[in-house]
Amino acid sequence: MATEVAGEQLAGLARYGSVHLLDEVGSTNDYALGLAAKRSTAIVTARRQTKGRGRFKKHWFSDDGSLTASLLLFTDGPDFPHPSFLTHLAGLALSRAVEEVAGLATQIRWPNDIIYKDKKLAGILCEGRRHAVAVGVGLNVNQESFPEDLPDAESLRVATGRTWDKLVLLESFLHGMFAGIERAGKGETAQVIADIKNHSAVMHRRVEVRTLLRKHVGTVIDLDTEGRVVLRTDSGRLVVLGAGEVRRLR
Ligand code: BTN
């Protein structure tokens, strides 16, 4: 099935890199990383993914109602932020895009889930090979409902009562992402982290953080300059975590 996109909209996206509009793909992250040999920034978006991946190798549900996209970047350019920081920049850019386009104030559940009223609107998965990174974004946009096994999923349509143009959201995300990369490249990481804290769903909250090795329970007292969570555990220890899966506790 062909995807028709207005020339103006395509030109808007093409300002950020070569644009690949696909009907169906296994995973847009894999497709984007497959373009890495060309050494140029690319944007890949697909109507459907058959093998969408989430964090921790989980299956990622996506259908035609989702914005499914990957941004291929190269991390060896001058003033490029550390790859681990991209995930935080992407969370902020996506939260802002949703606010700018749909007027919905969302929160970032560290490190990069976008939530609305405790339900998940979007997830981000950054995957790299050598100097190339695919910043993969899955945003639930126009779904009216979700499969029963996803009780915590939310879409913009359910939250706002109307449908939204996925490519307008993508362009706004790209704008925010490149603005963030520029800020971080100029050394403004502290200000970026301050913005992330303002959107954070976990700051000063009691949480459980599951890492690959163990589970930590405590209160988030800070995000450090690298975007790592600083947790005061129930036993009073300070733990700094760079990755993990967070659940908010009451
Ligand atoms: C998560 O919350 O676990 C992250 C989900 C990331 C999903 C996106 S959809 C586009 C890109 N392609 C993938 O296979 N995964 C990411």
Whether residues 215 and 105 share a domain: the answer is: no
Q: How many CB atoms lie within 10 A of CB 199?
A: 17
- For residue 125 and ligand 1, the question of a CB distance below 6 A is answered with yes
Of 29, 50, 61, the residue with max ligand 1 atoms within 8 A of its CB, to mutate for a pocket test, comes to 29
* CATH number of the structural domain spanning residue 102: 3.30.930.10
CA distance 188 to 211: 28
Whether residues 119 and 144 share a domain: the answer is: yes
Whether residues 96 and 212 share a domain: the answer is: no
Whether residues 67 and 13 share a domain: the answer is: yes
**Radius of gyration from C-alpha coordinates of the chain:** 18
CA distance 46 to 31: 10
Distances (CA, A) of 63 to 47, 67, 132, 223, 232: 7, 9, 26, 33, 39
Query: What is the Å distance from ligand 1's center to 126 Cα?
Result: 8
53: in domain = yes
Q: How far apart are the first and last CA of the chain?
A: 47
| Total domains present in the chain | 2
Query: What is the Å distance from ligand 1's center to 75 Cα?
Result: 20
- For residue 48 and ligand 1, the question of a CB distance below 6 A is answered with no
Residue range 103-120, pLDDT digits in tens: 999 999 999 899 999 999
Residue range 10-24, pLDDT digits in tens: 999 999 999 999 999
Whether residues 132 and 184 share a domain: the answer is: yes
Residue range 137-186, pLDDT digits in tens: 999 999 999 999 999 999 999 999 999 999 999 999 999 999 999 999 99
79: in domain = yes
Question: Structural domain of residue 226, as residue ranges?
Answer: 206-248
